[in-house]
Amino acid sequence: MELRELKYFLAVAREENISKAAEALFVTQPNLSRQMQNLEKEIGKPLFIRGSRKITLTEAGQLLRKRAEEILELYEKTEKELHAPSNDVSGDVHIGGGESYVMQLIAKTARDVQREYPNVKIHIFSGDSATVSERLDKGLIDFGIFIEPFDVSRYDYLRLPLSDTWGVLMRKDSPLAEKESIAPEDLWDKPLIRSRQSLDKTMFTAWFRKSTAELNVVATGNLLYNMSLLAEEGLGYVVGLDKIINTSGSSNLCFRPLRPKLESHLDIAWKKYQQLPKCAEIFLRRLQAYL
C-alpha cells in the first residue's frame, strides 16, 4: 500500500461517494474506482459496500480507516520533525490526556514555551488512559497524562505535584446536595452516571463496597461535560473529578467529595529510549522547572 492509496481511500470513506471523493481529490472517477479496486485486491478483502447512492465500509474497511488515519498522522508528524530547521526552534508538541484540572499546569507550561518560541505549536488530544497509551506507543503523541492507578512503569515519567479529588456531581436540589460529603451507602440506591475513564473497577468496587452489577448505573460517558448535562436534567448522580465542571454562581449543579476521601495522582509519561523532538524537549525542561 502506498500513502497515496491510503489518502484516496480515506477520501472515499469520508465522502461516502466515489464521484464526490474524486472531485475533492482532483482525479477522475474511473481512476479513483480503479485505485480502490486494486487496493481491495491487494488486501484480499472487500473494503466497501457499494450502494446505489452511498458507499459504506465493511469491517475490514473500518479497520483500514483507523490504521490509515494513524499512519498518515504519524507520517505528517515525522515529516514536520525532519524538516524543522536545525537553527530554529519550531514544530509541534502533541500531548494526550483525560479531563483534569491538573491540565492547567500543562497549559501554563505551553503558554511559557510559546511565548519564548512562537513557532512551537501545542496540540492536545483528549481521551481515556487506554486510548492515550495506544497513541503514545504508536508515536502519535509525545506525552501522555495518566491518572493513577494506571501503570506508567514502562515509560519514562514525572509525577505531577497536584492530585484530583473524586466526588459526586449532582443537581443543587438533589437530596444528597444537603450533605457535605458522600458516603458509599448514600449512593447504593441512587441512579449513577459513571465515567468510562473514571475509577478503575478495583478502586470503584473497593470504595462502594459493592460490585458494579449491584449498583444502579443508568448511563456512562467519557466526557464529564456531557455527563454533567445528564445530571442537570436529573438523570442521575455523576461520579467524577472535582474542578472540571463549574458549579458556582447560577449553575444548577454542585459537587460533593467522597467520604472516605479518594484522590488520584497524575503522571506525565513519554516513551523510553526515544529522541524527543527539540520542541518537545524544551516543553519537558520547562515543565520540570515548574515541578
pLDDT at 145: 95
To the nearest whole number, what is the mean pLDDT of the chain?
A: 89
Average pLDDT over residues 208-218: 89
What is the tens place of the pLDDT at every residue in 101-119? Answer: 888 899 999 999 999 999 8
Q: Which grid cell is 285?
A: 525542561
**C-alpha span between 43 and 41 (Å, rounded):** 5
Express each pLDDT in 66-113 by its tens digit. 889 888 888 887 887 677 666 667 889 999 998 888 888 999 999 999
Q: Pull the grid cell for residue 122.
A: 501545542
Taking Cα atoms as reference points, which of 107, 112, 134, 138 lies closest to residue 123? 107
Q: Within a 10 A sphere around the Cβ of 224, how many other Cβ atoms?
A: 21
